[in-house]
Structure 1
Amino acid sequence: MLNSSESNDFKSLVLNKTPLIDVRAPIEFKKGSFPYSVNLPLITDEERHLIGIKYKNFGNEEAVMLGHKFVSGEVKEKRIKAWLDFKKDNPNAMLYCFRGGQRSKIVQEWISEYIPEIIRLKGGYKAFRNYLMNEIDNSPKYFNPLILGGHTGSGKTILLKKIENSIDFEGLVNHRGSSFGKKITGQPSQIDFENSLAYELIQKVNKGFMNLLFEDEGKYIGSINIPKNLAEYLSQGSMLVLETSFEERISITFDEYILNAQKDYKKEFEEDYFVFWINDMQTAMKRIEKRLGSMRYKVLNELFIEALNFQNKKGSLEKYKNWIAYLLKEYYDPMYEYQLEKNKKKILLKGSSSVILDYLQTLKLP
């Protein structure tokens, strides 16, 4: 049974976290896709390239004929099976191509020979992407921004995860937002970040939150930048400053930079993990040499090497706490104090995690 059902109810896609079948070629998917989407392409990258040449030289009809030649017989059966299997596991799944044109229509027709209906996105990827970007630009109309500040290691991310009306930029960009913030798995594309951010904003706003809490960040987090309009709006937000003891900050940073990082590297690189981790840490230290100054950089390096040797000899990570204490005191703290002094944001409150949580409970929530 053939159908051509389309939907442009993009808001419901976001709120329902609707699974999506992206039938674009893998190269297109990698440049940017949507949360809850899976790439089950109609044509491969190479096929797309050859069809494009055919289209340029001989027009649409010849290009379509070549596409049908590529996707026929067992190849066609295999691709249809992949779409049907996903639809079986995700009954409310929809599909899309770039503009909601030929590719998604062909897939829709082929699938409809086996099941009653699958809906495709009207306007495809381009229309949905435009909707999400507009929602980011318009989101400042719907909430009051609160900005969570605090020294490195104070546990801002830990606190954010306890609060429903928060948006964790660092989680979305897969980066800790510092010189040592790089993670093994790498960052998403700028487009993927923006799409995920739009989902978060739409979902939070729909819940009726009058206030949204964000960690205090620069314009860039690693290689990802916060959309301009939103960044400017957040720069006007009032601050809550999280205060944590120096000892606790050492412990939190130790868990993040050393303990958990080494575990992650071990999962990824197995027996070679230590070499890769050391190399990345020394590269990160080199990045801050100029700001730190040659003498303090030398001390920091020596403390790190001392900790490495102690780990190799005793199997203990304890010495890294000396390295972290020096890094916090000599690098992060002076930089934070300078930034706080320059900061024009109004400070509403300074206090511990429990003090800030209590304050947030007093704000009007839905």
Structure 2
Amino acid sequence: MSPRADTADYRQLFLDDVPFLDLRSPGEFVHGAFPTAQNLPLMSDQERAAVGTCYKRQGQAAAIALGHRLVSGAERERRVAAWCEFARGHPGGYLYCWRGGLRSQTVQQWLADEGIAYPRVSGGYKALRRFLIDELEHSLKRARLVLISGRTGTGKTRVVTALERALDLEGLARHRGSSFGHLPEGQPSQVDFENSLSIALLQLLARGDGDTVYLEDEGRLIGRVALPEKLVKQMQSAPMAVVEESLEQRVEIILQDYVVDLARRYGESHGAAAGAELHRERLLEGLDRIRKRLGGERHQRIRGLMQQAFTVQSATGDTAAHRAWIAVLLESYYDPMYNYQLSRRSGELLFRGDRAAVVAWAGAQ
């Protein structure tokens, strides 16, 4: 079998979820990467900085020589072994550095010395990133967005995840989209979020079963990551399907998502005792963040109910007491806010019903 060639077919790479061997420094990778990329850098951040300084002062030849001195001996052997392991484990993958230049070519040669021919992405990370920025704009021009709207607690995310032609913005942002939506695993960087969003939309539209894309009605921010401005603008006039559920049902959904499920997640990531305390702290911090909008008296009332509920939960394991603060918060804060936000939407109302009805309606379109 002949060796695979280097490629500039960025679209197919993302459509196929091709594994990437990312040779950039750890700092470059943290700033922005792709979901299928693994960072096995040629140089550390410190090594890259030293080589860059050398290049500016003494030129390319001196910089290359310094790079070879820095990555040599046992350390070079360790890094080459890691690249070989990746290449053998991902025979359909590609490698890249920032521009697909010297670092990529160096690692290609070192792999070839080990008997492994491994292709690179022409243009490197920079070209892949540029492609996704441009492709998101093209995808948004093509897509017919339909918002899944509704009051807080109606289970909009449950509707989105039940639909085949849907984009889960909160899933991509790893956040539940409210002041209380922080998850233990943390959020991606802004660039990572944008990359994942563009890839997900590209893949969805490439399926060939239409251009309608359902997504949850969101604000500009999901936690600390921002939706692209063009997406925000398009959402403001997109048609809507509104999910309606009783207050009792909504309280139950909030209880399950923000109390029961979050408690489990924090327990799994931090241990039972530390997780329970961190869960309590994070919900109280979320409430404190909206204190000005709640007003001092209402904030203190809800905070007291929340603290009491956590005290009962800690002593007995019973989460039922949380329903009290959830109900007050929904009726006195989130419902008026939803009414205001809905008044600012100009999109057509296509359908209204409970979760099951909205899922059935969307599935029949």
For this structure pair, what is the TM-score category when the shorter chain's length is used for normalisation? over 0.9
2:268 corresponds to 1:267 = yes
Shift of 1:331: 1.2
* Secondary structure in structure 1 of the residue aligned to 2:113: coil
In 1, the alpha carbon distance for the partners of 2:345 and 2:236 equals: 9
* 2:290 is the counterpart of 1:288: yes
Instruction: Tell me the distance in 2 between the aligned counterparts of 1:87 and 1:205.
Output: 30
Match for residue 54 of structure 1?
54
Aligned-partner SS, 2:91: coil
- Distance 1:167-1:129 versus aligned 2 partners, 3 A rule: same
The alignment status of 1:213 with 2:214, answered yes or no, reads: yes
Worse-superposed segment, 202-211 or 274-283 = 274-283
Distance, in Å, in 2 between the alignment partners of 1:255 and 1:231 is: 29
- 1:221, CA displacement in angstroms? 1.2
Matched with 2:363 is: 361
Give the Cα separation in 2 of the matches to 1:294 and 1:236.
35
Higher mean C-alpha displacement, 14-23 vs 319-328: 319-328
CA contact (8 A) 2:237 2:345 kept: no
Asked if 1:96 is matched to 2:96, the reply is yes
1:335 alignment partner AA: M
Give the CA RMSD over aligned residues. 1.6
Q: 2:279: which partner in 1?
A: 277
Give the letter aligned to residue 334 of structure 1.
P
Distance in 2 of aligned mates of 1:55 and 1:4: 32
**SS at 2:213 equivalent:** strand
CA drift at 1:116: 4.7
Provide closer, same or farther for how the CA distance between residues 89 and 153 of structure 1 changes in structure 2, counting only shifts above 3 A.
Answer: same
Aligned to 1:334: 336
Q: Which residue of 1 aligns with 2:42?
A: 42
Under a length normalisation based on structure 1, what TM-score does the superposition of the two structures give?
A: 0.95
Q: Letter of the 1:359 partner, please give it.
A: W
How far 1:213 sits from its partner (Å)? Answer: 0.3
SS at match of 2:54: helix
Specify the alignment match of 2:322 in structure 1.
320
Measured after TM superposition, the shift of residue 11 of structure 1 is: 1.0
Give CA deviations for 1:265-318 in whole Å, capped at 9, x if unaligned.
112222322322222222111111111112211210111122122223333111
The SS at the match of 2:242 is strand
Structure 1 residue 73 and structure 2 residue 73: aligned? yes
Counterpart in the other structure of 2:239: 238
Deviation (angstroms), 1:4: 9.8
Pairing 1:173-192 to 2, within 5 Å after superposition: 173-192=173-192
The 1-side partners of 2:268 and 2:21 are apart by: 30
Which residue of structure 1 lines up, in the alignment, with residue 149 of structure 2? 149
Look up the equivalent residue of 2:137 and give its one-letter code. D
More deviation, 131-140/311-320: 311-320
Per-residue deviation, residues 74-118 of structure 1 (Å, max 9, x unmatched): 211211111111111111010000001100010011112233521
Please name the residue that 1:163 is paired with: 163
Q: Do the aligned partners of 1:150 and 1:242 also contact (CA within 8 Å) in 2?
A: yes
Q: Identify which of 339, 345, 364 aligns with 2:347.
A: 345
Structure 2 unmatched runs, 5+: none
Does the CA contact (< 8 Å) of 2:143 and 2:213 recur in 1?
A: yes
**SS of residue in 2 equivalent to 1:212:** strand
Q: Deviations over 1:123-161 (max 9, x none)?
A: 000001000110001112322110010111111111111
Distance in structure 2 (CA, Å) of the matches to 1:357 and 1:263: 28
TM-score, normalised via structure 2 length = 0.96
CA contact (8 A) 1:42 1:103 kept: yes
Distance 1:30 1:145 in 2: 31
Unpaired stretches in structure 1, ≥5 consecutive residues: none
Residue 20 (1) aligns with residue 53 (2): no
Q: Conserved in 2, the CA contact under 8 Å of 1:4 and 1:105?
A: no
Question: Which stretches of structure 1, 4 residues or more, deviate above 3 A after TM superposition?
Answer: none
Structure 2 letter corresponding to 1:326? V
Superposed CA offset, 1:162-220 (max 9, x none): 11100011000111111111112211011100110111011011012320001001111
